[in-house]
Amino acid sequence: MLAVRHSVYSVVESRWLTPHLKAIKALWLCGSSLRYMDASLFATAINLQVLRLYDLSFACGKELTVVMQLLQKCPNLCELGITANEAVCDRDIEAASRLLEDPDGCFIVQDLKMLNTIKIESFRGFTVETLFVKMLLSKSPALEEVVIMECVDIDTSIAVKSLRELLRFPRASPKAQIVCMEHVYSMMGWTMGELWSTGIC
pLDDT tens-digit readout, 7-52: 555 554 666 777 778 888 999 988 888 888 877 778 889 999 999 9
Closest CA to 118 of 151, 89, 147: 147
State the Cα–Cα distance between residues 201 and 56, nearest whole angstrom.
24
CATH of the domain at 132: 3.80.10.10
Residue range of the domain that includes 90:
2-197
Q: What is the pLDDT of residue 6?
A: 61
Task: Answer positive or negative: Cα dihedral of 68, 3, 5, 154.
Answer: positive
Task: Answer positive or negative: Cα dihedral of 4, 125, 150, 51.
Answer: negative
- Which residues, given as ranges, of the chain have pLDDT below 50? 12, 89, 91, 187-201
Q: 64 with 106: CB under 8 angstroms?
A: yes
- Per-residue burial over 80-103, b = 16 or more CB atoms within 10 Å of its CB, e = otherwise: bbbbbbeebeeebbeebbebbeee
Q: What is the pLDDT of residue 184?
A: 56
Reported as half-sphere exposure (CB side, CA atoms, 13 A), residue 162 has a value of 24
Left if phi > 0, otherwise alpha if psi is -120 to 50, otherwise beta: which for 186?
beta
Q: What is the pLDDT of residue 5?
A: 64
* Total number of domains in the chain: 1
- Please tell me the pTM assigned to this model: 0.81
State the Cα–Cα distance between residues 11 and 52, nearest whole angstrom.
21
User: Pairing relation of β-strands 79-84 and 177-181?
Assistant: unpaired
State the Cα–Cα distance between residues 118 and 67, nearest whole angstrom.
14
